[in-house]
Structure 1
Amino acid sequence: MRITIGYTLESIGYVVGAQGLISFASQTFFGAEWGWMHKVVDLPSTAYLALVALGAALVVTGLRTRKAAERRKGA
């Protein structure tokens, strides 16, 4: 079960991080709205950087959860 949770957190992290990065870059450098994140929330450019950090944190948490479960299973 922990392995599934790890994969899920990691996958969500990749999506949130990528959408945050796309939204930040599009607002900052092009003055346009790309991706689908702007359809869900209307945030300033700097707040999208927080979503990139949140995505990275979810990826790291997912990896740690999955690796810990694999070590326990192998022991």
Structure 2
Amino acid sequence: MRTTIGYTLESIGYVVGAQGLVSFASQTFFGTEWGWLHKVVDLPSAAYLGIAVAGLALVVTGVKTRKTPGPHPTA
């Protein structure tokens, strides 16, 4: 079960982090809107950077959850 939860958190983290990073970069450097996140919420560039960091935190949490050793069954 931990493996499934770890992979799920990690996958969601990659999507959220990528969308936050793309939205931050497009607003900051190009003055346009890229990705789909801006269609859901209209935030300033710094908030999109915060979303990217939140995505990174989900990835790290997912990896740690996956690698946590589970209880060993007794014979």
* TM-score higher than 0.5: yes
Distance 1:29 1:3, change over 3 A: same
Which residues of 2 match residues 5-16 of structure 1 at below 5 A?
Answer: 5-16=5-16
Equivalent pairs, count: 73
% identical aligned pairs? 74
* Counterpart for residue 32 of structure 1: 32
Which structure 1 residue ranges, 4+ long, deviate > 2 Å from structure 2? Answer: 71-75
Unpaired segments of 5 or more residues in structure 2? none
Structure 1 unpaired stretches of 5+: none
Distance 1:74 1:39 in 2: 46
* Greater helix fraction, Structure 1 or Structure 2: 1
Instruction: State TM-score, norm by structure 2.
Output: 0.91
TM-score by length of 1: 0.91
Q: CA RMSD in A?
A: 1.4
SS at 1:43 equivalent: coil
